[in-house]
Structure 1
């Protein structure tokens, strides 16, 4: 299909969701191969910190040593690792979002630390960065930048998780008008046991959802006992209680009744960062699984030579490549949208928020895909370890438990699947995305037997064509569902979720093909081609099955047969040698003793 969506409102980069309508490789994307020297230096510094100061303390962290976590945050602050997203005017560095994601990646090698670090630098600090007034920024940000103060974020309640606006905590002005009186409770608050500053959401007068900055020690505010969790056991997670908690009037964050803007925009960015926030753990567990397999012998032979073990290692590597390619492509979109903006301008934070919101579809993709890819990878890693993978002595046991929470954080994966498909439809109705126009063209092409052809005839031509087919599957299926259900489509979660899965695979394949071609120095790299091909063969099969299932849940009878006949033309199978793909990938993995495309 033609590249129909060239630019966003700023005229610089494609609009959010445009990848679904533009040709593979029609625009250059950000990739790890394009990182600047400064970005690589920050990544190297953060990796060194994690390797030398965090991983050796993993057992103490796991034992809920809150003093240690707080000290690690202070040490990270001394290295400048807490201030990436804080403006220079308030003691920070104000760097690009790619650098911010690189730090998140490096910090994700130990789950409990990653959560504590992310809660402080992300959801705890950014509400003040983005929505605080100057006095609030001057008071809190310089100390949050160094780790002198630690932040937390309090949104979830017993009856409001994904439905954030269902919060019951209330706020009213005191009779003298000088303070807000908060009453209610919050659940599952990360860093709660040792945080100094809490961003708390409550409903003013019971109906106006609003954000507040609450200091530890506030009269009427207490922190409950630690929760005992399945995973991320070392991170602090406590309930909060407010009984006529007296909050200074000036601690209102943003505007009364506009708390949803804070919560939703913070979640958008958190979803994007989660994509990077799984990469460090994925790369570490891939390396650990490889080393274990090479050392472990069965039947007098290293299990690393067994085909089924090698198949797992190849699949793990391919998942890392997919997540990495999508993550930094998306951060590059945000950075490009902000290129040239004056960071000292009064409207800069508003522009930043708008840029992140623009790519909310891609951010939800990163959240869902990244969290599930991590789950698949650590599951394979446990299997490679065999019985040892079930023993606490081996880090993979902890990583397996720690990984599970990521499918719940930042909005459940079920909610985010609804958001992916739902935002595509909403942006179509607003005229931002041409879903129905393109869907009509796809329908006409399928009826006439016209199929997409690769723009570039190289080793990845079949994979390019497969990516284009997946886009058409998603577009066509969503169009049929929208026409069938109309306004009721929001209730058809089984259809929307299935479409979202196809969209995610299309984004992954588009990103991997484009990245591999961009990285070519006269010749495509064999390992990159093999990873892309392996991904494509699996994505093709599952995406066609998903499209067929969604159509079966949408229409019946002869109409269903007609639609199935059309999409059947998009089912693409290109013969391949699975052993050759596996060994090509593994040769690169073994040579690098881990993920073969290191950025440092």
Structure 2
């Protein structure tokens, strides 16, 4: 890992724009994969969306097998086990393109992510040989059974039990899992249970095992085309060779898989949000009121621009993180039998970034589909228009793969833990910042200045929070959640700005103008909100004269000259309307 940036280190120094990966860096192969995945979704999934939503018998398997023939299911699976291994940018591209496919994105994501990656990363050679080829081809459907009726976010409180049979050949599983994607047609279930009631362990369970049954289909708000049921385990015999990884180490499997799952869900969100903007821009161009297209109205322009800016920020974050993950993979020795575990450990380095991507992207998607409905007006509330389905489908994104509340707590807590281990200079950065604060702090100029201001705002708020609460800070979730927002926005602003700067250095300011405008509009529109959120944190930590002094410090850190963001948004909206879709 020598030379690679540590997870969270972006907060403590400058990043060279040339060191990040952006969509403009796609290779010819990446572009080919994009065309293949997007073509599959547009031609084979979206054209059959009504049948998919009606749960037409056999359609999901047909689509999974079609995706398998194109290599879209095996991108994370070694060729030895039937896959078509690709780099992390390619798997991100596939996830983004699948984001347009509605409920099929959940089915295919369960297949290629949480439903198979536990075997990819933690399985034995024999387990991989037995199960992965079918998943890669789409002939076998994978599912992930972690959640229980009484244990949602608190996975470790699971009640499903596993007891070794008297002859030592089987584990006998009993329990119920809830909200399990792909459960109706699942051939392979990754199930978590406690051996003897206390050793949390992962198992591979065949879908046709006697005693395994599923409940009725959940009547869901959205993603209706995917199967979601409870899974009931009644004296299910699981061969001991199907125990996955080590006894009592199920949490290692679960949490490492969730890191990648969160990241891919963010990539799904990028594709889904682009689709929402495409539908909205097309409608705004066509719909006329008072004799002119509504795209010419200022408040519609503002919505289109804000959607585009958020998409630009989330896209920049996602592919920046993809570059970090790919560089990590390239730095590791993945030739041994434990290569999957080595890869999982490498991905864990960027767990904080994965959580930030998940929260930011899923909430940006929520904004995009909500404003998409608003732009459509009354028609947006009609099932005749696609935006209505996107609105319903998007809501689950903030709940999947660890709720956004859970992921928010992960961000500051991970920073604290890594700082305590000496991996990140959190305390040192806070002290250095305090020593620099003076009455003559310069006004922050340009987006670069705002990016540094954003980091400084987080550091001063984080430092005061740790001084106030120490190790008890994680218990104060209201403060922790706001700290997470500050860190996340700093990452979003910096990612957007770095991408624009990299493009300008390569193509020139003129060619990169829209990217730079996006970054500026987003940053100037966000920094004031960060100041307000930081004020709430400081007011929760202190009062009286101490609070006054803290607020003065905050104001010194965030002095900047506002820009005309109305004009910037108009420029962005004009580009979106002309293209009829997201464009940079």
The Cα of 1:448 is off from its aligned counterpart by 5.5
In the other structure, the counterpart of 1:575 is 562
CA contact (8 A) 1:527 1:585 kept: yes
In the other structure, the counterpart of 1:563 is 550
Query: Which region of structure 1 is more displaced relative to structure 2, 282-291 or 203-212?
Result: 282-291
Query: Separation in 2 of the partners of 1:522 and 1:230?
Result: 47
Q: 1:584 aligns with which of 554, 559, 571?
A: 571
2:148 pairs with 1:162? no
2:472 pairs with 1:483? no
CA contact (8 A) 1:477 1:499 kept: yes
**Residues 448-459 of structure 1 mapped to structure 2, 5 A cutoff:** 449-451=440-442
**Residues 141-152 of structure 1 mapped to structure 2, 5 A cutoff:** 141-152=132-143
CA contact (8 A) 1:12 1:336 kept: no
**Residues 152-231 of structure 1 mapped to structure 2, 5 A cutoff:** 152-231=143-222
**Residues 2-401 of structure 1 mapped to structure 2, 5 A cutoff:** 10-25=1-16, 28-339=19-330, 341-401=332-392
The Cα of 1:48 is off from its aligned counterpart by 0.2
2:483 pairs with 1:523? no
In the other structure, the counterpart of 1:468 is 452
In the other structure, the counterpart of 2:476 is 492
Query: Separation in 2 of the partners of 1:553 and 1:67?
Result: 55
CA contact (8 A) 2:17 2:502 kept: no
Taking structure 2 as the reference length, the TM-score comes to: 0.97
In the other structure, the counterpart of 2:530 is 543
Deviation per CA, 1:422-448, whole angstroms, max 9, x where unpaired?
A: 101111101011011010011111145
The Cα of 1:559 is off from its aligned counterpart by 1.6
Query: Separation in 2 of the partners of 1:486 and 1:579?
Result: 42
Query: Separation in 1 of the partners of 2:172 and 2:373?
Result: 49
From the superposition, tell whether residues 37 and 343 of structure 1 become closer, same or farther in structure 2 (CA, over 3 Å). farther
Query: Separation in 1 of the partners of 2:330 and 2:363?
Result: 32
The Cα of 1:542 is off from its aligned counterpart by 0.7
Q: Unpaired segments of 5 or more residues in structure 1?
A: 1-9, 454-460
Query: Separation in 2 of the partners of 1:450 and 1:542?
Result: 20
Query: Separation in 2 of the partners of 1:214 and 1:501?
Result: 39
From the superposition, tell whether residues 432 and 66 of structure 1 become closer, same or farther in structure 2 (CA, over 3 Å). farther
The Cα of 1:14 is off from its aligned counterpart by 0.7
State the 4+ residue runs in structure 1 displaced beyond 6 angstroms.
none
CA contact (8 A) 1:466 1:572 kept: no
The Cα of 1:452 is off from its aligned counterpart by 8.3
2:571 pairs with 1:594? no
The Cα of 1:586 is off from its aligned counterpart by 2.3
Q: Unpaired segments of 5 or more residues in structure 2?
A: none
Query: Separation in 1 of the partners of 2:301 and 2:332?
Result: 47
In the other structure, the counterpart of 1:534 is 521
Query: Separation in 2 of the partners of 1:578 and 1:421?
Result: 30
CA contact (8 A) 1:540 1:572 kept: no
2:402 pairs with 1:416? no
The Cα of 1:311 is off from its aligned counterpart by 0.8
The Cα of 1:393 is off from its aligned counterpart by 0.5
CA contact (8 A) 1:152 1:198 kept: yes
The Cα of 1:240 is off from its aligned counterpart by 0.6
Compute the RMSD of aligned alpha carbons. 1.4
The Cα of 1:557 is off from its aligned counterpart by 2.0
Report SS of the residue matched to 1:15: coil
In the other structure, the counterpart of 1:430 is 421
Query: Separation in 2 of the partners of 1:177 and 1:346?
Result: 26
The Cα of 1:301 is off from its aligned counterpart by 1.4
Report SS of the residue matched to 2:151: coil
CA contact (8 A) 2:81 2:132 kept: yes
